[in-house]
Amino acid sequence: MNKQHAIGDLSAARHALTAAERGRRNGRAGVVVWLTGLSGAGKSTIATELEWQLVTRGFSACLLDGDTIRNGLCKDLAFSAADRHENIRRIGEVAKLFADAGLICIVAFISPFRADREAARRLLPPGQFLEIFVNAPLAVCEQRDPKGLYARARQGKIPEFTGLTSPYENPDNPEMEVRTDRLVAGECVKQILLLIESKLLPIAPDSPS
């Protein structure tokens, strides 16, 4: 069967509840909080604490972490430019599903290419995608090297390593930048929490019939 023909025959399922209706039941629209930055910048540490803080405040939140997704949904992908694009395309679609369900979906991925992050943003209505640039200089990230990846990349054992042999494109206009070389993780989380709480979009309840 012709692959293109088969895809053209598909249509989106019609659900009993729309994203707006789910939002009305929750009192607010879902949001994607997209943490991007170099390996070692602190994305996973911040994302884990952020999820905990949101849940303890009564929000429905979930975390999609790069390593977890790479070992599951995207384990068929390598680290070429094409595979990196596909990796972020998939996670963008998954994050949208969570946001449509009314959750605060935290995404912690290097996501090195600006165009891929912008494509993920376009999947959501305005105001429901918050890009957080978790920023630390390359030298600081390499000094931390919590997984030993920079050392292995310097030895030629990891080709196409972001920041060394593959580019990282800084966000042009993120909703927030946190400098993890200047602030501890907890302080970064507090700043992001304030941003999320200020950006959550309330949805008016259904009018009485």
The residues annotated with a catalytic role in the active site are 111
Contact between residue 36 and residue 131 where contact means Cβ atoms under 8 Å apart = yes
Task: Please count the other Cβ atoms lying within 10 Å of the Cβ belonging to residue 66.
Answer: 21
In 18-161 the beta strands, taken as DSSP E runs, fall at 31-36, 61-65, 104-108, 129-135
Contact between residue 192 and residue 174 where contact means Cβ atoms under 8 Å apart = no
Residue 140 corresponds to which tokens in the numbers above?
Answer: 């600081």
Contact between residue 53 and residue 189 where contact means Cβ atoms under 8 Å apart = yes
Sheet of strand 104-108, all strands in order from the earlier edge strand to the far edge: 61-65, 104-108, 31-36, 129-135, 176-179
- Beta-bridge mates of residue 134: 178
Residue 61 corresponds to which tokens in the numbers above?
Answer: 């939140």
Contact between residue 136 and residue 37 where contact means Cβ atoms under 8 Å apart = yes
